[in-house]
Copies of this chain bind each other. A is one copy, B any other.
């Protein structure tokens, strides 16, 4: 499975959040999240195979803890979009006396008929990006 699908699952995110504070055994996770033991084990397996966590053996227990690499990968993808929301935050924190008229939030029923600029749309971009995404 792939990093983005991994964190799409709420229980897996909960497990990861738990492990931020410290390493935990399967049983501890089970109790804190009210999940059945097999459920926890299965999620941990997924997380382990994706590199989100690793385990060390302590008698019959497995102590799981976070690994950084997949998070870096996620962050690297998010980074492409960071300028957008940082601009946005700036706009919020500052007086948004700018906010130029390019904020017609989702098709303001522009009855205006948007007449004649059909052909003039910007393009310069035939990048042939792949279907399977780059991540």
Chain A residues close to B by CB (< 8 Å): 4-5, 7-8, 10-11, 13-14, 16-18, 20-23, 25, 28, 31-35, 48, 54-59, 61-63, 65-69, 71-72, 74-75, 77-78, 80-82, 84-85, 87-89, 104-111, 113-115, 117-118, 121-123, 125-135
Contacts and interface: CB of A to CB of B under 8 A. Distances in A.
Contact of A106 (B32, B55, B128, B129): B55
Nearest to A73: B85
Contacts of A107: 22-23, 54-57, 62-63, 65
Say how many copies of this protein the assembly contains: 2
A46 B42 CA distance: 29
A121 B26 CA distance: 13
Contacts of A10: 131-133
Contacts of A113: 57, 59
B125 A22 contact: yes
Given A8-B4, A71-B78, A66 B106 contact: yes
Contacts of A117: 58
A62 B106 CA distance: 10
B55 A14 contact: no
